[in-house]
């Protein structure tokens, strides 16, 4: 098992700073969805992690904790994630992306 | 080289992998994308074998987004870590022999101008500190003296990270590395000064802990290189393996190094300032209007 980044939609959708996306060394890994969090009544969307691309460096955690001061990202063992985004389940739109969350083990 | 090279061939669309379809339909080709849109479009850089948490990877990712016309750009690289990522992007990449990347880029840049005339085709060299300041030093400097119109970007990790940690010309004095156990005895090379002396029209230093600045600097360098002359960017991209930086502290290190020896500097020649202002509408180089007399203390 290995660690991947997990973003709290509740915290992220309330702040929507997008810094983690800009500081992740991996392309197409921390994505942003305008829809994520809307169903919970949040004004903004949220960032999410394509866990099949995450190399577990935790740079996003440092950026979220120390630059954004949002404390929204934690490293978590991939088998402890009930649902996560995988590259094959991400759809690109005109202005944002959407992801169907599924069990990473099934992916 | 045009938008055509990223389109599907007739009848092949349904056989292309999802990543490729996403890139054609939602990538940056033919559009203006910016750092603030990251996470909302398909980036051209794909999966690559760079180490987890590598700052060089982040810089390359930002550079690919900053290219003004990715569909009309060719990157040139050489041996070193960077080429492992640069070659995994949907932008044509030419791999020079060690050290000859600026010679290759000179010929490429001239050839593209012969073939395509005034239509801008950008050539961007991205090589490490070893490829730029040590082994490729002669060709780099001569391309600058010849005012070859392309951009040279040094990915400065201050070590030969790909071969076990030997000191490079860009390593700091006193640095102890696996293959330099007594510490480096000489100063870090001042490539910035050399670039200015050699006549580069644009010289800048950046650290990837400021993505918007990286974007701005690369855009300016590529645009200036289209017509004015050589441009040079020196980017601090730490090697977290050889310098034993924990991956979650890479940006903390970048900030510390920025404050220590990598403060943002930018030199723009007068000709380049005028070119950016007149051709691309840059306002930052316009003369500031003189303050009204009443606003100057003691002159009221």
List residues in chain A touching B: CB distance below 8 A: 18, 21-28, 30-32, 47, 53, 55-59, 61-63, 66-67, 87-88, 92-93, 95-97
Return the CATH number at B54: 3.40.50.970
Q: Which residue of B has its CA nearest to A34?
A: B40
Tens digit of pLDDT at every position of chain A (107 positions): 899 999 999 999 998 899 999 999 999 999 999 999 888 888 889 999 999 999 999 999 999 999 999 999 999 999 999 899 999 999 999 889 999 988 887 54
Phi, psi at B215, each rounded to 5°: -60, -50
Residue A48 pairs in a beta bridge with: A31
Residues B209-218, mean pLDDT to the nearest whole number = 97
Contact flag A23-B26 (C-beta cutoff 8 Å): no
Q: Are B35 and A22 within 8 A, CB to CB?
A: yes
In a domain, B24, yes or no: yes
The CATH label, of 3.40.190, 3.30.70, 2.40.50, 1.10.10, for the domain at A3-99 is 3.30.70
Distance from CA of B183 to the nearest CA of A (A): 29
Q: Select from A32, A59, A62 the Cβ nearest to the Cβ of B39.
A: A32
Give A66's DSSP letter: I
Enclosing domain of residue B95? 3-160+189-295
Among the listed residues B272, B235, B127, B146, the one whose alpha carbon sits nearest the alpha carbon of residue B198: B146
Check CB contact under 8 Å for A62 and B252.
yes
For the ranges B19-28, B189-198, B227-236, the lowest mean pLDDT is seen at B19-28
Q: Compute the nearest-CA separation of A97 from chain B (Å).
A: 6
Confidence of residue B293 (pLDDT cuts 50, 70, 90): low
Nearest C-alpha of chain B: how many angstroms from A18?
Answer: 8
Pairing mode, if any, of strands B202-206 and B265-268? antiparallel
Give the tens place of pLDDT for each residue, B60-108.
999 999 999 999 999 999 999 999 999 999 999 999 888 999 999 999 9
**Strand, helix or coil for residue B67:** coil
Query: Cβ separation of A28 and B46 shorter than 8 Å?
Result: yes
Shortest Cα distance, chain B CAs vs residue A51, angstroms:
13
d(C-alpha B188, C-alpha B21), whole Å:
45
CB under 8 Å to B172, separation ≥6 — which residues? Answer: B158, B184, B188, B261
**B165 domain residue, yes or no:** no
Token pair recorded at residue B183: 């510490």
Exposure of B110 by Cβ count < 10 A (0-12 exposed, 13-18 middle, 19+ buried)?
A: middle
User: Can you state the angle between helices B211-227 and B55-66, rounded to 10 degrees?
Assistant: 50
Q: Say if CB B203 and CB B220 are below 8 A apart.
A: no
Place of tokens 């978590």: A76
Q: What confidence tens digit (pLDDT) does each residue in B100-131 have?
A: 999 999 999 999 999 998 788 999 999 999 99
Is B167 part of a structural domain of the chain?
Answer: no
Q: What's the token pair of residue A28? A: 């197409």
| Cβ–Cβ below 8 Å for B248 and A95 | no
Q: How many domains does chain B have?
A: 1
CA distance linking residue B120 with residue B206, whole number of Å = 25
Q: Give me the pLDDT at residue A107, please.
A: 47
pLDDT tier, B190 (very low <50, low <70, confident <90, very high otherwise): very high
Tally of CB atoms within 10 A around B154: 28
> Which residues does chain B have within 8 Å of residue A92's beta carbon, measured at their own beta carbons?
22, 25-26, 41-42
Backbone angles phi, psi at B258, to 5 degrees: -60, -40
CB B77 within 8 A of CB B48: no
pLDDT value at residue A31: 96
> Quick check: A8 and A55 in contact, CB under 8 A?
no
- The answer to whether the Cα torsion of B216, A28, B56, B208 is positive or negative is positive
Residue A43 Cα, gap to closest chain B Cα (Å)? 17
Q: How far apart are CA B89 and CA B293, in angstroms?
A: 55
DSSP result, B112-156: HHHHHTTS--EEEEEEEHIIIIITTHHHHHHHHHTT-SSEEEEEE
Percentage of chain B surpassing pLDDT 90? Answer: 83
Residue B300 has pLDDT above 70, yes or no: no
Rounded-to-integer distance, Cα A80 and Cα A3, Å:
10
Q: Looking at residue B183, what DSSP letter applies? A: -
Judge whether B168 lies within some domain.
Answer: no
ipTM of this complex prediction, to 2 decimal places: 0.95
Domains of chain A: which residue ranges? Answer: 3-99
């Amino acid at each position: 098992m290995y660690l991947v980044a997990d973003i709290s939609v509740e915290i992220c959708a309330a702040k929507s700073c997008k810094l983690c996306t800009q500081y992740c060394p991996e392309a197409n890994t921390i994505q942003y969805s305008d829809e994520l969090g809307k169903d919970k009544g949040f004004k903004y969307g949220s960032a999410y992690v394509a866990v099949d691309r995450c190399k577990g460096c935790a740079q996003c955690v440092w950026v979220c904790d120390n630059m954004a001061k949002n404390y929204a990202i934690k490293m978590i063992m991939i088998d402890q994630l009930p649902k996560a985004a995988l590259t094959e389940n991400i759809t690109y739109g005109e202005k944002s992306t959407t992801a169907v969350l599924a069990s990473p083990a099934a992916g | 080289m045009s938008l055509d090279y990223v389109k599907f061939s007739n009848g092949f669309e349904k056989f292309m992998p999802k990543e490729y379809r996403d890139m054609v339909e939602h990538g940056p080709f033919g559009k203006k994308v910016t750092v603030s849109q990251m996470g909302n479009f398909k980036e051209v850089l794909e999966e690559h074998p760079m180490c987890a948490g590598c700052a060089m990877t982040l810089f390359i990712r930002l550079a690919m987004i900053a290219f003004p016309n990715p569909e009309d750009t060719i990157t040139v690289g050489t041996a070193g870590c960077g080429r492992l990522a640069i070659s995994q992007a949907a932008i044509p990449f030419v791999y020079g022999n060690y050290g000859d990347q600026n010679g290759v880029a000179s010929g490429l840049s001239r050839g593209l101008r012969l073939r395509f005339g005034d239509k801008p085709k950008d050539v961007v060299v991205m090589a490490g500190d070893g490829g730029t300041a040590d082994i490729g030093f002669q060709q780099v400097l001569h391309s600058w003296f010849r005012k070859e119109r392309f951009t040279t970007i040094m990915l400065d990790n201050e070590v030969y990270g790909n071969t076990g940690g030997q000191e490079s010309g860009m390593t700091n004095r006193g640095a102890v590395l696996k293959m330099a156990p007594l510490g480096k005895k000489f100063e870090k090379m001042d490539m910035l000064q050399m670039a200015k002396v050699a006549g580069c029209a644009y010289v800048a230093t950046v650290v990837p802990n400021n993505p918007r600045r990286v974007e701005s600097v690369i855009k300016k360098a590529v645009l200036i290189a289209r017509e004015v002359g050589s441009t040079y960017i020196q980017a601090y991209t730490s090697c977290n393996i050889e310098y034993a930086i924990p991956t979650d502290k890479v940006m903390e290190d970048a900030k510390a190094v920025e404050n220590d020896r990598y403060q943002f500097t930018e030199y723009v020649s007068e000709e380049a300032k005028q070119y950016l202002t007149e051709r691309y509408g840059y306002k930052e180089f316009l003369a500031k209007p003189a303050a009204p007399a009443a606003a100057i203390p003691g002159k009221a």
